[in-house]
Structure 1
Amino acid sequence: MIVDVKDIQEGYVKSETHKHVRTIEFFHPQSNSLPAKLLSDLAHEITYAGNDKDVRLIILTSAGQNFCAGASFDELLKVTNEKEGTQFFSGFAYIINAMRKCPKFIIARVHGRCVGGGVGVAAAADYAIAVEGADIRLSELSLGIVPFVVGPAIERKIGLSSYSQLAIDSSMWRNGDWARRKGLFAELHPSVESMEESIARLSDTLANYSEEATIELKKMLWHGTENWDTLLLERAALTAKLALTPKAREVIAAFKNKTKVSTPH
């Protein structure tokens, strides 16, 4: 994957295929936060890979120190009405639904911290492999909003009780071991090398399995989520209303220059 200076400044989504495995990589200089364009590009790349007959498996990864810092605060502060807000929060609805409906398994390579929507992306993967230091936090409530859009994906993966813990204590970081024990991460490795070895092993194995069988297994694993095309967009509209309240605008503005994921206390 070749990255030029403009990509480093504005972020990118890039992909490549090797031995029937499509690797999709995203990056944004603000701790891998995801503005609307990158969310749209990610959803498009996942959908395209899912329809590519040469692809049997997808690996979703990111560059930089953190896996994903969630939504872009800069874009959120530009929202002035509910229509714009709904459009803004729908970005994560589109990527989660793209991952859900993709007929190929998606492995998330989680090499660093996840915040807000980033936790939702990890949860929407069919299998997440992480390394120690991949701490997670749902910070929405502390900003005056609620993790409505990513909530169904997270709750599906770790259960209502664990999801509520993340959503309610929104200032607390949970470490990678907590995420593994709750089921968000399928594996947690002590080093990047160990993580890469596991991803390579599983990728080689899955890419050689029956395509028909893996498609049917994925359908079964996502059974009961057929209403998410509508549900997640409705959740985006609810979040937009909260984001426009005076308190939320005040808090989000105060966090504008803190989009870099901070070190857990």
Structure 2
Amino acid sequence: MAEPDSGRPLVRRDSDRGIATITLDSEHNRNALSARLRTELAAELAAAMADDGVRAVVLTGAGRVFCAGADLKEVGEQLAGKEPDPAAPGMAEIFSAIMEAPKPVVARLNGTARAGGLGLVAAADIAIAPEETEFAFSEVRIGVVPAMISIPVSVRMTDRAMTRYFLTGEVFGAREAAASGLLTEAVPAGELDAATDAVLDGLRAAAPGALTGAKALLGADGAEERGKAFARMAELSARYFASEEAAEGRAAFFEKRKPKWVL
């Protein structure tokens, strides 16, 4: 798919009856978390949280992929010497903005989620996906580790499931994701809208102040400790992305071949 017009937003926001829907709209790279997309996503999240007319946020994507994770092309360019956008928020800031938001965030998956995209799923308060949706912590297969996303994911998934999927990078389905705690619910594709609406109707029926207070009870107070953990994980992530294995993993990904370490 062709790259979008530079002037066209990669993230859009619409509102209906107290619900702001934020859509990742960067289909050309499978809604990857590029610096520009992260910047726009952070701005739209902040705007929704500041809007007194918004009760909750739905996070979704355009096209067949919810989010593919990091923009590997952009990562490669930066490692080759291109200066990163100093104003762009990092992954930690995006995940924190969702986890610490004063209003509930509901992830409504439109399709596949990989790597950093699973960080968005885990950071959301509620996550719903069609049963045919596929997931993978694919980091180890391109020579890096799921460092940043380990913080929100560890809050959701069982230890056994997280251990298996972090180590193997294998694809798993929505039913497995729901059983592990990563998803709230996996539903037939034709029931996705109804399942999401049922959650949103519940949020619309809640008193706004009580809704904020209830979310705070569920873990929003751990911001300081998460901030320290994210800082440690950022250093770890940077070290792995700069490694020789990661360079080979990116090359194999773009050349559509197996990395040299595959037996």
Task: Indicate the TM-score class for this superposition, using the shorter chain for normalisation.
Answer: 0.7 to 0.9
1:165-222, Cα deviation, whole Å (9 max, x unpaired): 111011x10111000111111111112x311012122212212211121111111112
Q: Which of structures 1 and 2 has the larger relative contact order (alpha carbons within 8 angstroms, sep 6+)?
A: 1
SS in 2 for 1:70: coil
- Moved beyond 6 Å, runs of 4+: 8-11, 81-85, 87-90
Report the counterpart of residue 119 of structure 1 in structure 2. 118
1:56-107, Cα deviation, whole Å (9 max, x unpaired): 010001010111111111101112289968x799622111010011100011
Report the counterpart of residue 35 of structure 1 in structure 2. 34
Listed as ranges, the matches of 1:163-182 within 5 Å are 163-170=162-169, 172-182=170-180
Structure 2: which amino acid aligns with 1:254? A
1:235-259, Cα deviation, whole Å (9 max, x unpaired): 112211111112221221221255x
Report the counterpart of residue 227 of structure 2 in structure 1. 229
Taking structure 1 as the reference length, the TM-score comes to 0.87
Report the counterpart of residue 141 of structure 2 in structure 1. 142
Structure 2: which amino acid aligns with 1:116? A
Could you say what the CA RMSD is over the residues aligned between the two structures, in angstroms? 2.6
2 CA distance for matches of 1:114 and 1:151?
A: 15
Name which of structure 1's ranges 7-16 and 25-34 shifts more when overlaid on structure 2: 7-16
User: 1:165/1:125 Cα in 2 relative to 1: closer, same or farther (>3 Å)?
Assistant: same
1:225 deviates by: 4.5
Partner of residue 17 from structure 1, selected from 12, 15, 18: 15
Report the counterpart of residue 198 of structure 1 in structure 2. 195
2:100 and 2:223 in contact (8 A); partners too: no
Report the counterpart of residue 47 of structure 1 in structure 2. 46
2 CA distance for matches of 1:184 and 1:167?
A: 13
Structure 2, unaligned runs of 5 or more: 257-263
Structure 2: which amino acid aligns with 1:71? A
2 CA distance for matches of 1:137 and 1:127?
A: 19
1 CA distance for matches of 2:247 and 2:30?
A: 22
SS in 1 for 2:90: helix
Report the counterpart of residue 60 of structure 1 in structure 2. 59
1 CA distance for matches of 2:215 and 2:102?
A: 7
Q: Paired residues, what number? A: 252
1:158 and 1:184 in contact (8 A); partners too: yes
User: 1:27/1:7 Cα in 2 relative to 1: closer, same or farther (>3 Å)?
Assistant: farther
2 CA distance for matches of 1:124 and 1:183?
A: 12
Report the counterpart of residue 261 of structure 2 in structure 1. none
2 CA distance for matches of 1:138 and 1:119?
A: 8
Structure 2: which amino acid aligns with 1:194? E
